[in-house]
Structures are given as structure tokens and as C-alpha cells.
Amino acid sequence: MSPMKDDFSPHEIMRLLPHRYPFLLVDRIEEFEPATRLTAVKNVSLNEPFFQGHFPEYPVMPGVLIIEALAQAGGLLILKSVEEVPQNAIFLFSGIEKARFRKPVYPGDQMILQVRQVRHKINLWKMETEAVVRGETAAQAKLTASVVAREEA
């Protein structure tokens, strides 16, 4: 797998994903192999707005946001791999299976988001995902997603 950083500038990430602050959860793409796998990075900062309420005395990144970061990385893999993305298309969850949270993610952690495409059929993709912190699995899940026209969303 070779690094493809030039193809994943922050502007390119924002061009492909509709998310913006405070919900854009991918900082950088490290590696990309079209239609196969992608490795991304999310730097978790104490300045993240969700830490104000989750939890003020013991800040832990919500599991649902770890899954969302993995889904965004999966969206980048799909959107960058397909031949042509319709102008009005959007990437949406259609399933989450076998989600497991193995260790908490704290402020100061760097999550390595690993996504591997398992199956693609028409506009549906299935991916195996894993969030790794300091060499250990923090979370993993099988995600299913689809690309649909925004009018259908």
C-alpha cells in the first residue's frame, strides 16, 4: 500500500465529504489503495466540543463518534474509488454490525482509522473497520454504506 497524500489534501477531503466542524472527524489520509483499503488519522484534542459533556470529569470520546470517524474514512475510500460520483450524491450509513469497543479514546490520542472494502454490489458497500490507538484496537465494526442522490436522502 502506498501513500497517496497529494490526492487527499484537506480541501479534497472536504470536497468529498459533506461534513464540517464540529463533525468532520478525519484529519489526514495516510494510505489509499483504490477499492481495497484506506488508512486515515483522527487526532483527538481536548478542544473537541463533545468533551464538554462526555464527561467533564473524565473525558472519553463517545463510541458513536468513533464509529462515525470510521464511516467517514469508509466514505472517502468509496468516493475516491468509484469512477464517477454524481454531483448530487451523498454517502449514507445503511448498517452497522458487530461493533465492539475495546478501549477508551482520550484527549491527546491519535486514532488510526483502518478501512477495508469487503464487498461492493451496485450502490452498496460493506467494509471492515478498526480504530487503533497506540497499537491497540480501540473499536471495530462492519459497516455498510450506500451512495444515494441527495433528493432521496
**17 in Cβ contact with 76 (< 8 Å):** yes
Catalytic residue among 11, 19, 54, 120: 54
Residues 6+ apart with CB under 8 A from 28: 5, 8, 10, 40, 41
Active site residue 54: yes
- Which has the closest alpha carbon to 105: 70, 73, 76? 70
Using the structure block, give the residue that is written with the C-alpha cell 484537506. Answer: 10
Cell of 149: 442522490
CA triplet 29, 32, 35: central angle to 5 degrees?
130
Catalytic residue positions?
Answer: 54
